[in-house]
Amino acid sequence: MKRNHNILLGTLLGLLMPFSVTAAEEEGATDLAAAITSGKATVSGRYRYEYVDQDNALKNAHASTLRLRLNYRTGQWKGWSAFAEFDHVFHVLIDDFNSGQDTSLNRDEYSVVADPKGSDLNQLYADLDPNDNWKYRFGRQRILLDNQRFVGGVGWRQNEQTYDALTLNTKAISNTALSYSYVNRVRRIFGQTVPAGKERLDGHLFNAKITINKAFSVTPYL
């Protein structure tokens, strides 16, 4: 887990470093430092109680969980900005459920509520916005396409699904919003301590929204 974090952090620093090195003037370096330190930090919490009563041999599940989220977005410097988001999920008082990663304490006797406890670097990415029509994103990120029927973050669960990816968004074509993502890894809702929690990919996502008029649009995807 630490190794993956270091790889992503190294990638982020690698993207930013060439620009900071070439900005030889002291004023340019000051602007970069100001962009990093003048960002916005946010702290939030989300509590949920979930009860599962299935028609099977498993015991009914009672899950009391709390997600604490901390994120930080830097200011912009020459079109570049960065974002980091850290989550921790707690099991609060009532934990009579199988979170999907429990292998002891008879958790398999209960129905599954897929909210495992633990910490996660949910997002860590760099953005490049050279102009109003183009946007590039590099790193661990949230990808939500349309109504999320096929690609989304499974936002109902406490541990969000995110993607290690490169994403390009453009509105350079009139009345058309195009999106392309190359996905290297999916970090799923089950936590990183079980095989089902992450999956390596060599995947490509294409999505377009073509606006016909104020009431209608067409969205092809691949």
SS (H, E, C) 33-72: HHHHHCCEEEEEEEEEEEEECCCCCCECEEEEEEEEEEEE
* Confidence at residue 44, expressed as pLDDT on a 0 to 100 scale: 94
* Confidence at residue 12, expressed as pLDDT on a 0 to 100 scale: 43
- Type of residue found at 210: I
* Confidence at residue 15, expressed as pLDDT on a 0 to 100 scale: 44
Q: Where are the alpha helices (H) located in the chain, listed in sequence order?
A: 2-22, 26-37
**Mean pLDDT, each 10-residue run in order, the chain (222 residues):** 44 43 48 85 93 82 92 91 94 83 66 86 94 93 89 89 95 90 91 74 90 80 68
Structural domain total, the chain: 1
- Percent helix, percent strand, percent coil in the chain, to nearest 5: 20, 50, 35
Nearest to 31 by CA among 40, 19, 42: 19
CATH code of the domain containing 19? 2.40.160.10
Please, are residues 85 and 71 in contact by the beta-carbon 8 Å criterion?
yes
Instruction: State which residues form the domain around 205.
Output: 2-218
* Confidence at residue 143, expressed as pLDDT on a 0 to 100 scale: 95
Q: Burial-class residue 94 by CB neighbours within 10 Å (0-12, 13-18, 19+).
A: middle
- Type of residue found at 56: N
* Confidence at residue 113, expressed as pLDDT on a 0 to 100 scale: 84
